[in-house]
Amino acid sequence: MFDPLLIPELREMLLENDIPAMHEFCNVFHAGVIAENLESLSVADCWQVLSAAEWSRRAEVFKYFSHSRQMELVETLDQSKLSALLEAMAADDRVALVKDLEPALVDLVLPLMAQVERDEIRKLLSYPPQSAGSIMTTEYASLRKDLTAGAALAQLRLQAPQREMIYYIYVIDESRHLLGFLTLRRLIMAKPERPISEIMDEDVISVRVDEDQEVAARKLARYNFLAMPVVDDQNRLAGIVTHDDVVDILQEEATEDAHKMGGVLPLTEQYLESSFVSLWRKRAMWLSVLFLAEVFTFSALAHFEDEIQKVVALSLFVPLCISTGGNSGSQAATLITRALALGQIQLRDWLLVIWHEFGMGIALGVTLGLIAFVRVFFTPAEVLGVSEPLRLALVIAQSVAAICLWGTLVGATLPLVFKRLGIDPGIASSPFVATFVDVTGILIYFSIARVQLNFG
């Protein structure tokens, strides 16, 4: 919704310091649209436009800026303005921002804020990272169960301005124990004189403060909730996780999975914002492990040095043969890992999966083996440097087919084995499978060659 036509207009408003126009701009559009259009302006211009709006509106827009722009914007604020911004933000967004600020700056700003907000920040900061508690907001709507629907609606109208989510209303007792919940839909549909204890749902699906944020996100998505209550170990309501956090959390997860598949320890920071040394450590670690494993290809080849000495042409096909295993293995591993992650297959389906991949491995092996045969058979004999090209072509074709089947089976099996052992199946990444199959592929290739070619 970035609108290039708005930029010249904005520049003119800034030039003329046309405050009424800027005020209108800040209030007519969706906060996200405003942020997108302000993103290309300088930080100073950005604040100038925003200062035409109330602090509450500025905080709403702020939330939609990119992380790096947020940091730039905060840097130029003095302490009193920063505390005003923080006070105006939603509880969960506020804590997310505080986590990213310099601790020294936080110590300066916190005393300027109201006691309520200050205590809340301290409390939310105390939950472990990645826990449901760390992402929840405390701005939920709650009511006592002895109210009638009419009285409840009247109370809700009073609470609404300070609440992030008013479509789900939680019913609690005097010690904040969670008794039930009801939706605003049900509340406005109910007869005004009906007690809410009769219309509320008592079977409330909740998540504990110390549970993983991903558990919370998956539950929320699974049951199509707009929000889900977060409770402590005594079932007292501590906060709610809202629908807009789900996508962020699941996207974080998908990135972690992608990084694992590509052979990087998952990065928690954004790519351009992570430090060189920490990125190097995460990348070098995996590459070194794979490298050390790959050294076994040397040992395997050294074992067949005599054969290579006699038929040098054999060595020319080594990369072709082993890469076949790596590619077919990555493919199978990706399919199975993803199907496991989405719950399309379960561990108990293992026999079916392996049977399925066995057939597929044969079909793929025959396909690639035929291509290999044709390619080798029609290579000029002087390039191959062998007297019997047909024989060599047969060896290569059989090796390619066998290694392709082997790669497929290994790629399909490893994620299942890891899952069974309680290890994340995503570890069976493309590079991991490829390295494993490289070494074993060499053994398969030269074993076939040794049996079928006359060395002597």
Q: Round to whole Å and give the CA distance between 397 and 445.
A: 10
Kindly tell me which residue out of 172, 345, 448, 453 binds a copy of itself, with binding defined by CB under 8 A: 345
Strand segments (E) across 343-383: none
Contact 423, 437 (CB under 8 A): no
Give the x/- contact pattern for a copy of itself in 156-195, rule: CB under 8 A.
xx--xx----xx----------------xx--xx------
Please, what is the minimum distance in Å from the beta carbon of residue 349 to a copy of itself?
Answer: 7
Tell me if 368 contacts a copy of itself by CB under 8 A: yes
CB nearer to a copy of itself: give 52 or 314. 314
79 sits near a copy of itself (criterion: CB under 8 A): no
Which one of 7-15, 49-57, 128-136, 322-330 is the stretch in contact with a copy of itself (CB under 8 A)? Answer: 322-330
Q: How far is the CB of 126 from a copy of itself (least distance, A)?
A: 26
End-to-end CA distance of the chain: 74
Contact pattern for a copy of itself over residues 386 through 405, marking x by CB under 8 A: --------------x---x-
Which CB, 213 or 435, lies closer to a copy of itself? 435
Strand order in the sheet with 178-183: 140-143, 165-172, 178-183
Helix (H, G, I), strand (E, B) or coil at 115: helix
Q: How far is the CB of 334 from a copy of itself (least distance, A)?
A: 2
Judged by CB under 8 A, which of 339, 354, 386, 427 binds a copy of itself? 339
- 13: how many CB neighbours lie within 10 A of its CB? 21
Neighbour-count burial for 228-263, b at 16+ CB within 10 Å, e otherwise: bbbbbeeeebbbbbbbebbeebeebbeebbebbbeb
Which span sits near a copy of itself by CB under 8 A: 38-46, 170-178, 268-276, 447-455?
Answer: 268-276
Residue 246 sits in the site that holds a copy of itself (CB under 8 A): yes
Q: Cα 129–130–135 angle (5° rounding)?
A: 90
Dist. CA 147–CA 180, nearest whole Å: 13
Cβ atoms within 10 A of the Cβ of 61, count? 22
Who's near 358: CB < 8 A, 6+ residues apart?
Answer: 405, 408, 409
Q: Which of 5, 78, 193, 276 binds a copy of itself (CB under 8 A)?
A: 276
Instruction: Find the binding residues for a copy of itself in span 282-321 (CB under 8 A).
Output: 283-284, 286-288, 290-292, 294-295, 297-298, 301-302, 305, 308-309, 312-313, 315-320
Q: Does 409 bind a copy of itself (CB under 8 A)?
A: no
Residue 203 as a binder of a copy of itself (CB under 8 A): the answer is yes
Comparing CB distances to a copy of itself, the nearer of 82 and 168 is: 168
Question: Contacts with a copy of itself in 413-442 (CB under 8 A)?
Answer: 430-431, 434-435, 438, 442
Is the distance from CB of 143 to CB of 171 less than 8 angstroms?
yes
Residue 311, classed as helix, strand or coil, is coil
